[in-house]
Each structure stands twice: as structure tokens, then as C-alpha cells.
Structure 1
């Protein structure tokens, strides 16, 4: 009887996610086909743009929400893990110490700028911290991890997640153009600009895919370095909040469950990279990993587009949009300045 209940529960969950998951996959297939005639755009770009168009028109349906959410998160995570099987220490060495210093400086300056600007624009302390962490580290995931550590309200968290996603989408489309204008054919600098600036993993993959596969690999390495510092950011934000608290209630220790542990896909990526570097995986295995990683990526990007609700953005108001766009402009200018200063 228990087994039957378990099977029924599993089937029910599958039926709930299937419509959105299948829709994202169909958009991915259409994008792959369209890319044959539009190779300059590429399947990744087409997938997210087509997803945005359909998700805000004929496919704007709550029944798709759970499936597209799963496609956006889980498939992209698997894609990142499999990408590790195509990367070695030699690839990472291309970033070098300068790349590591670039990430540290870019994150630190972004956090300071976003926080100070938020306070100047009269946003709450929590919202300014969430905006700073979300933009500096990894978007929604960072915000969700930081929120319990600083005792942020659900409303504050939701508003900043919406704003960060809007900003990331705009930059996702603009950075490949900006990078190509400034850096021409230089792969490493364009990778640093995209991987060191964009908010979420999906946005980094989508933006880098608009250039080529090599930029995807290198940009993801810059991004992984940022994500690995999430633990440090959550800890420091929690301490900062305690020190600046004005009441005993605000000064309570951060909640135990802060979500500050490294995401499993980052660990998976690093492990695959170590294995591939030490024993050099057979070419067939790397090619298979690359094939599935590519399909997971395109499907996830289609889901990101389908889930992007423009109405939510317009509801946030002018002050939110000015804050978001200002932080984005600062991030891009910082990245360009640091790339020049460090001669990456």
C-alpha cells in the first residue's frame, strides 16, 4: 500500500512539472532548428528571446510554472556539472592570478557601490545588502542565502530578486555587444566581462553563448570563482548586520539555515574538472558530456525566457528601475576599468 502511495505521489509530481518541462524542450528544439538559418544569433540567444516572447504572450499560463522552474534550475545545474568534464587545470590557468584578483576586486567594489547607492536612494539596509550580494555573487541564489543571515523580510527579498533578474536580462543581451566593440576578438577579456559581471549562471551561459563555446567555458570559470566566495559573503554580511544593529532583536544571531554551503553543481564542476585534469577523460566521454550539457543549457535558457514576466518589473516602479540600472552601469564600468588596469 505504501509503495502504491509513493508511486502515485511521484506520478502526480511528474504530471505537474511535465507541461512546463516539455514546453521548454520544444522551444529549445525550435531554437536549434532556427539557429541553422540564423547562425549569428545562435541557439542559446534564440531560445531565451523566443522564450521571453512566448512567455509574455501565448504561453503565459500558470500550469507551466513548476516545469519551467525545474528546467531553469535543475537542468542548468546539470549543464554546469557536465561542463566540468570538458575543462582542465590548463583551461583554468588561462585566467591566472590576474583573473582571480579581478574577481575579488570586482565583487568587493560592486558590493560597496550597490550598498552605498541603495542607502543614498533611501532603500532599507536589508534591501541594499541584498542588492549588493545578488549582483556581486550569483543573483537569486545569493539573495536567498543572504536573506536569513540579515533577517530580511520576504517582501524585501522578492523585490530585489525581481530587480536583479531584470538587470541581469538587460546586461545579458548587451554585454556580448559591448565586449565585441571594446575587445574585438579577444576571448579572455570578453569572458572576464561576462563572467565577472552577470548575476546568474543562466545569464552568463546565455550571454557567452552569443559569442562562442570557448567564451562559455572561460566565462563560467570567472563565474564559478564568484560563486565559491558566496560562503564568505554570507558570513560577512551577517556580521555586518549584527554590528550595525540598533536594537537587540536586530542583533540576534543569524538563522542556522542560511544556505551558505557551496551549491552542489559548483562542487560537481570542480570534481569533474579535477578528474579530467588528472586522468584526461576519453574524448568520446567529453563529447557526450558536451552534447548533454548543450541540450540542458538550451532547454534551461528557454525556460528562463518563458518565466521572465515583464509585468512584475513594471510594478516595481521608477525608483527600483533607476537603482537597478545604476548598479548595472557601475558594474560594467568597474569591469572595463579593472580589465584595463590588470591587463587581463
Structure 2
């Protein structure tokens, strides 16, 4: 009897979670269908881009309600993660190897410059060391996930973490829309250079997919790979920042290796790539993966659009806005320079 009660409670909690995310997921799915329909009439813009813009409009007007928040977050994070995993089942290892030594070198130098200058500017603007470290990891690696991984290692508080996540997401949102135009002017939308610019700068995977979708499918796939390689360096970045904090004697050494992990979808992506390269998936199965991945992606981008808060963009404050602007400019200039050298 007790086992039945436990099972019923788990089932009830599971149903509660489904009901919590359902309204937001339904709205995101509706937006995705509308975007796909409209893309038939404006194919030059595409369903992915339309989903972001419609999501922004909806999220800041009639869908700006608490009932949709958990669902839009689920679409932005979970559905996008599944989309990336399924994308791995359509790409061979040879596609990833296109990055080569020069691509990896670009990523390493771009991340190193970002970290060093973000910390330096943070000091100049008299932000706390913890806050500067959080901004460095968030901008260099993978936004909110990197900040969440770094915070316990350096002993950062919730307030510093929350503000850093807000600024990084706001910066990424603006860059998501700006970078395709910069790539068009500087690189004439050449695939590998445009992919490096977008995948090497933007803070979250969602922003990379959204920005690259404004260009084309090839850039989207290659930008995602650039981004995933950056995420692989998360452990290294967090360890370095933890050691830097340790030298100042303001964090316990026992915390250095805690709570650092590579996101599950990165490992799953590479496993799917290996399986596809080995011929585990027939081409018809791979095509199904591509179709599902594409649909999940558009729904996720609708969620990303819904979660762009225009009021938040206005409220971040002059000093924080200056910090964000400086970081954005540094990343753009360094990425363009490094792409010219390495790619």
C-alpha cells in the first residue's frame, strides 16, 4: 500500500510539472506554427527569425503573464537541448573537423581575450571581483550556465549572480540581432567566418541558433558547433577562475572542484555525431531527426523571443550598460581580428 501511495505522489508531482509548463509551451508552439506559415510568404526572413520576433511581440504584450513563464523557459532550454542532440544525428564528425586547428585556436584566443579584458574593465569600473569573474565566465563560455557553475566555486552571492545573468542575457539578446548585419558587412556572410563570429561571441546556445538562423541553415549548424566547443572549455574556465580566487585567499580550496559539469546535451550531441558517422542511423532516420530538431528549434526560438523583456533592457542602469557595451565591443573587435588571422 505504501508503495502505491509513493507512486501516486510521484505521478501527481509529475502531472503538476506538466500542467505548469503546458500553457507556455502551447503558446510557443502556436507562435512557431504562425512563423512557419508566414515564412511561406517571406522565405527570405524564415520561420526561425519570425518566431523570435513574434515571440518578442507576444511576450511583451498579451502573453506577459506568469502562467506562460515556466513553459517558455522549458521551450527555451529543454526543447532547444533536445533539438541540439537530434542535430548531432544529422552531422558527421567530418563536419566538426571543419573547425580544425585554426578554428580551435580562434576559440581559445577569443575566450582568453574576453576573460582577461572583462575582468580588467570590471576593476576599472570598480565592480567587485566576484561580479567581474561571473561576467567573464558568462560572456566567454555559455551565459547563465557558466555563471551558475562559477558562482559556488568563487563564493559569489545570489545578488551578484542574478545581476550578472541579467546583463549577460541582455547583451546577448542585442548581439543576437546585430551580429548577422556585422557579418554581412565584414565577411559578406561567408559561412565559416560568419559562423565563427556568431558561435564565438554569443552567450547562450539559444542566442547562437537564433542569430545564425537569420543567415542560413549552414551557418546555423556550424555556429552551433563553434558554440559547443566553447562550452567544452567550461570546466577549464571555472577551474582557472577558482584558482585565481583562491590566490586572493577569499574562497575555500575545498570548493574548487564542486558543481562543475559539462551540460548533458553537449555529450549527447557528440555521441549522436559518432553514431551518425558510424552509420548507425539510416538516412531516413537522420531525416526524421532533422525534421524534429527543426520544429523543436522554432518552438524554442519562440520561447527565447517571449523571454526578452524590453523593460529589463531599459532598467539595467548606466554603469552596467557601459560595462555591457564595452564587453560587446571587445568581443566583436577581437573576434573579427582573430577570424582574419586564423580563418
What residue is the counterpart of 2:336 in the other structure?
A: 336
Residue 140 of structure 2 corresponds to residue 131 of structure 1? no
Deviations 1:235-255 (A, max 9, x none): 11111101023xxxx231253
- Aligned pair partner of 2:144 in 140, 157, 181: 140
Label 1:53 to 1:138 Cα distance change in 2 as closer, same or farther (>3 A).
same
RMSD of the TM alignment (CA)?
1.3
Query: Structure 2 CA distance, aligned partners of 1:153 and 1:8?
Result: 34
Asked whether the 8 Å contact 1:238–1:254 carries over to 2, the reply is: no
Label 1:88 to 1:307 Cα distance change in 2 as closer, same or farther (>3 A).
same
Q: CA deviation at 1:279?
A: 2.2
Deviations 1:153-192 (A, max 9, x none): 1010010101001110111101111111111142111111
Deviates more, 1:283-292 or 1:313-322: 313-322
- Aligned pair partner of 1:31 in 19, 35, 38: 35
Deviates more, 1:33-42 or 1:331-340: 33-42
Query: Structure 2 CA distance, aligned partners of 1:268 and 1:25?
Result: 25
Asked whether the 8 Å contact 1:150–1:254 carries over to 2, the reply is: no
Residue 278 of structure 2 aligns to a residue in which SS?
A: helix
What residue is the counterpart of 1:224 in the other structure?
A: 228
Deviates more, 1:303-312 or 1:51-60: 303-312
Residue 255 of structure 2 aligns to a residue in which SS?
A: coil
Q: CA deviation at 1:205?
A: 0.5
Alignment of 1:180-329 (within 5 A): 180-245=184-249, 250-253=250-253, 255=255, 258-279=258-279, 281-329=281-329
Query: Structure 2 CA distance, aligned partners of 1:258 and 1:311?
Result: 35
Residue 337 of structure 2 aligns to a residue in which SS?
A: helix
Deviates more, 1:84-93 or 1:324-333: 84-93
Deviates more, 1:284-293 or 1:252-261: 252-261
Which segments of 5 or more consecutive residues in structure 1 lack a partner in the other structure? none
Asked whether the 8 Å contact 1:146–1:258 carries over to 2, the reply is: no
- Aligned pair partner of 1:17 in 11, 21, 28: 21
What residue is the counterpart of 1:53 in the other structure?
A: 57
Query: Structure 2 CA distance, aligned partners of 1:257 and 1:35?
Result: 47
Deviations 1:94-150 (A, max 9, x none): 211100000000000000011101110111101111111101000111000001111
Residue 138 of structure 1 aligns to a residue in which SS?
A: helix
Deviations 1:14-58 (A, max 9, x none): 111111111111111111111111211111111111111111111
- Aligned pair partner of 2:77 in 55, 58, 73: 73
Query: Structure 1 CA distance, aligned partners of 2:41 and 2:54?
Result: 15
Asked whether the 8 Å contact 1:139–1:164 carries over to 2, the reply is: yes
What residue is the counterpart of 2:163 in the other structure?
A: 159
Which segments of 5 or more consecutive residues in structure 2 lack a partner in the other structure? none
Relative to the length of structure 1, the TM-score reads: 0.95
Deviates more, 1:81-90 or 1:225-234: 81-90
Alignment of 1:84-99 (within 5 A): 84-99=88-103
Q: CA deviation at 1:151?
A: 0.6
Asked whether the 8 Å contact 2:243–2:256 carries over to 1, the reply is: no
Residue 102 of structure 1 aligns to a residue in which SS?
A: helix
Query: Structure 1 CA distance, aligned partners of 2:126 and 2:209?
Result: 34
Instruction: Give the ranges of 4+ consecutive aligned residues of structure 1 lying more than 3 Å apart after TM superposition.
Output: 254-259
Residue 94 of structure 1 aligns to a residue in which SS?
A: helix
Relative to the length of structure 2, the TM-score reads: 0.96
Residue 142 of structure 2 aligns to a residue in which SS?
A: coil
Residue 156 of structure 2 aligns to a residue in which SS?
A: coil
